[in-house]
Structure 1
């Protein structure tokens, strides 16, 4: 649940910083002295300008980070798996095989499962509300492609991360 909560926080930070930047641009012109009007606020213009620059930078940086993470979720991968799967693709290609991620159910289904929305989850409008939504999984078992129990194109012993021993 922490992944979903942190993703929601990123999105809300992007929205808030975007609104601050979008609705504050006229105050930037005023703070820079480009308009022939006095500064009407108690805080000095430099304080506002520094805060404005911070909001713009945070909006861009967190948007890029959130976009990258949504891209990985749409592909059914985590940050670590992205590196592992690139290695698996190279090995499979050398053998003339194709690597297939068993957790990639298609971008739409992956996003629906991640946010727990769609036909088997909550309504889509819950994405717009700051609600805690229970994940579809217990964190140990994940949805896979029908009939595929492990990645295709990877042979036993070639995995970069070992399965936990269940004793």
Structure 2
């Protein structure tokens, strides 16, 4: 039955195409008809010469965006320099306004104990900001081993095409995390401290008035931004995760939950121990010498291998015993 239907439909379709072609030729002017024929001929030649079975819309889009990718790869390396200069300029402007405009005001209005506390706390934060930011921009990030080794690798780095150890990420802008986090916390502390009192408009000088308004708006906005960023990273550190590991662990948790299993992070040592590992605290004295005071101590481990938490060691021992 299908064969008979196809035999009947075949000539009918051919006749319909001939009728449409004749009507098109009668209605279409010769000039437009010639352009259409040349267009079709060029399209056939292009497909004949450049046909690729592996090509497609995705390949065409990647080829079209290749100049943009090249521009991003070559320009983004200078973003770090721009950001560093911007932070230095903004921080220097805050310090200059604090000394030239705020200090004369508090010398006339603050009591001696409050003045001493203000002087000590502000300069302590300033020292921490300068030291930790210098550490963040000068500390080398480390490099993956070039030769063969026994270190377990998770994936291949897309930027340097080398095996990437666990918990590592190749950032094109920033290279150091620990010192940057300490800098961010110190900066958030001093910004929050300076934004607490409302701006005063009692100065007669116009420049001083605008400087105080600039100081208040800058400190308030930076305090909100760095405060939110500090809370976010504090949660990640408490859970023993990096920003990328959070997304990976979230997917893994859903996958195991669908199977009725419980996901446990193999790099989570507990909230307090995670902070000790992150800050490099080994003894109680280190909270003062390595956290509250400037310190250039090295982090735990070599950055490529990580000691398992106690529950992983206990589980492995029980499995070996069985």
TM norm structure 1:
0.74
Shift in Å, 1:144: 1.7
Which of the residues 247, 254, 257 maps onto 1:83? 247
Deviating 4+ runs (over 6 angstroms): none
Q: Which residue pairs with 2:310 in the alignment?
A: 146
Whether the aligned pair in 2 keeps the contact of 1:4 and 1:115 (CA below 8 Å) is: yes
Q: Which residue pairs with 2:192 in the alignment?
A: 18
Unaligned runs of 5+ in 2: 1-138, 140-175, 314-322
Shift in Å, 1:146: 2.9
Which of the residues 271, 282, 285 maps onto 1:107? 271
Which of the residues 197, 203, 209 maps onto 1:45? 209
Shift in Å, 1:43: 2.3
Aligned residues: 138
- The CA distance in 2 between the partners of 1:71 and 1:143, in whole Å, is 21
- DSSP-derived class of the 1:69 partner: helix
Unaligned runs of 5+ in 1: 32-37, 150-167
- DSSP-derived class of the 2:310 partner: coil
- The CA distance in 1 between the partners of 2:215 and 2:232, in whole Å, is 25
Q: Which residue pairs with 1:56 in the alignment?
A: 220
- Structure with greater helix share of residues: 2
Q: Which residue pairs with 1:160 in the alignment?
A: none
Whether the aligned pair in 2 keeps the contact of 1:117 and 1:123 (CA below 8 Å) is: yes
- The CA distance in 1 between the partners of 2:227 and 2:195, in whole Å, is 14
Q: Does 1:67 align with 2:241?
A: no
Shift in Å, 1:137: 1.3
Deviations 1:32-83 (A, max 9, x none): xxxxxx4155624233212211101111210110121121011010001101
Distance 1:70 1:46, change over 3 A: same
- The CA distance in 2 between the partners of 1:7 and 1:122, in whole Å, is 21
Q: Which residue pairs with 2:183 in the alignment?
A: 9
Q: Does 1:137 align with 2:311?
A: no
- CA root-mean-square deviation: 2.1
- The CA distance in 2 between the partners of 1:147 and 1:118, in whole Å, is 20
- The CA distance in 2 between the partners of 1:91 and 1:133, in whole Å, is 39
- The CA distance in 2 between the partners of 1:69 and 1:133, in whole Å, is 21
Which of the residues 104, 123, 128 maps onto 2:286? 123
Higher RCO structure (Cα 8 Å, ≥6 apart): 1
Structure with max Cα Rg: 2
